[in-house]
Structure 1
Amino acid sequence: MVKSGNKKRSGSLAASPSHLMHRVLQLALDIYSEETGADGLTQRQFAVLEAVSQKSGLTQTDLVRATGIDRSTLADLVSRMTTKGLLDRERSTMDARAKAVRLSEAGQAALDGARPKVEAADKRILALLPKGKRDGFLGLLAELASEADAAPDKAKAEARTIKKTQREAKKAEKAMKKGEKPVKAPKAEKPAKAAKPKKAKALEPA
């Protein structure tokens, strides 16, 4: 059973966002597990089913964006959920190379059964905060989630900028090296040879 408390923490960990968020995540998952039960959907399974229910025919790339689950983990998760009969996979109508997923009847039933339990878990988590801070808390979480969603695109853009800068630096370096090559002095012209004086012809006697 999860117990809440207002114990004040001290030390460097108390000022560490990564540590505090990890602790809060553990608390949230514990509450989630208590509400959904040992045989219920995991939080990630619920997220996938909920995302697919909003828009059927999502590809793996779509699900990565919708749920924030990394690609390799999601691929394994979808495979296991398909084996369990929670999802149906088919060829995407948008991209013949990609597989799209849809909710199966069993998946829809599992989602319908899980929603009230997940709502109960969310209420328990928010109830740990004063009413006046709940909206602000959700707003901050939404901002952080938006940054997480934008992170891959930002990383790609930064990588492209770095590559471009490196290419321009190499070009500039080559240009400098070409400019530093010693200019060959023009060959000195050979002095013109002085014309030899013509010998005077001897006069023949008359």
Structure 2
Amino acid sequence: MVKSGSKAKRGGLAASPSHLMHRALQLALDIYTEEAGPDGLTQRQFAVLEAVSHKSGLTQTDLVRATGIDRSTLADLVARMTAKGLLERERSTIDARAKAVRLSPAGQAALDAAHPRVEAADRRILALLPKGKRDGFLALLADLAGEADAAPDKAKAEIKAAKKAAREAKKADKLAKKAAKADKPKKTAKLKLVEPA
């Protein structure tokens, strides 16, 4: 891999942010798995438990927003974690159609046991970077995560704006046609002159 700032030309995969981020994610998950151990929480399980620990009673929709895990994966994950006794689900008091999730005592114990392991993994990951670049790296990751969090709302806003623009264009088109119709000279009946005899 070409180091940042190197004068060597970047090309192909070495110039692909998506590929480089994928490789970095693979490395981070490998380190996380080593630190968590074979019987530890997966990174996604940890993220769910951590999110629920900060606000009990979250719905699965809330958890999707809090963790960034897609809806179908999260539904399966919550079901498995509930079966393992890490989470408890109950009908939401806010929305009777939704299930609220909270930590079980076993889930709290698993989360407490995972915190030092996750912190060790995070230290190992950051130790791969020079000290002077760590804060900037975390800030960039936070910016990217913020963009990911904002993407659904931005997409909805863009769709709404496009629909509004289409309605306004249609309205303007109707008004233009109406004005053009009004500007056309009306046909007048031709009178036939009859000469007196």
TM-score, length-scaled by structure 2: 0.87
Counting only pairs closer than 5 Å after superposition, residues 96-135 of structure 1 correspond to structure 2 as 96-135=96-135
Q: Deviations over 1:2-39 (max 9, x none)?
A: xxxxx537532222111111110000000001111122
With over 3 angstroms needed to count, the CA separation of the structure-2 counterparts of 1:11 and 1:188, relative to structure 1, is: closer
How far is the alpha carbon of 1:119 from its aligned partner?
0.6
Q: Deviations over 1:109-164 (max 9, x none)?
A: 11111111111000000000111111111111111111111010000000111111
Separation in structure 2 between the aligned mates of residue 179 and residue 115 of structure 1, nearest angstrom: 70
Separation in structure 2 between the aligned mates of residue 138 and residue 120 of structure 1, nearest angstrom: 16
More divergent stretch after superposition (51-60 vs 66-75) = 66-75
How far is the alpha carbon of 1:95 from its aligned partner?
1.7
Match of 1:47 in 2: 47
Match of 2:2 in 1: 8
Counting only pairs closer than 5 Å after superposition, residues 6-155 of structure 1 correspond to structure 2 as 7-8=1-2, 10-155=10-155
Match of 2:6 in 1: none
Paired residue type of 2:127: A
Match of 2:187 in 1: 185
Going by fraction, where is helix more abundant, 1 or 2?
2
Gaps in structure 1 of 5+ consecutive residues? 1-6, 195-206
Q: Deviations over 1:152-193 (max 9, x none)?
A: 000000011111111222223333344444654133567799
SS in 2 for 1:88: strand
Higher radius of gyration, 1 or 2: 1
SS in 2 for 1:90: strand
With over 3 angstroms needed to count, the CA separation of the structure-2 counterparts of 1:193 and 1:99, relative to structure 1, is: farther
SS in 1 for 2:97: coil
Separation in structure 2 between the aligned mates of residue 36 and residue 44 of structure 1, nearest angstrom: 12
Separation in structure 2 between the aligned mates of residue 183 and residue 135 of structure 1, nearest angstrom: 73
Provide the aligned C-alpha RMSD in A: 2.2
How far is the alpha carbon of 1:96 from its aligned partner?
1.8
More divergent stretch after superposition (117-126 vs 161-170) = 161-170
* Number of residue pairs aligned between Structure 1 and Structure 2: 189
Q: Deviations over 1:67-111 (max 9, x none)?
A: 111222211111111111110001111222211000011111111
Counting only pairs closer than 5 Å after superposition, residues 148-187 of structure 1 correspond to structure 2 as 148-181=148-181, 184-187=186-189
Match of 1:3 in 2: none
Match of 1:4 in 2: none
Gaps in structure 2 of 5+ consecutive residues? 4-9
TM-score, length-scaled by structure 1: 0.83
SS in 2 for 1:97: coil
More divergent stretch after superposition (127-136 vs 7-16) = 7-16
Separation in structure 1 between the aligned mates of residue 101 and residue 82 of structure 2, nearest angstrom: 9
| Identity between Structure 1 and Structure 2 (%) | 77
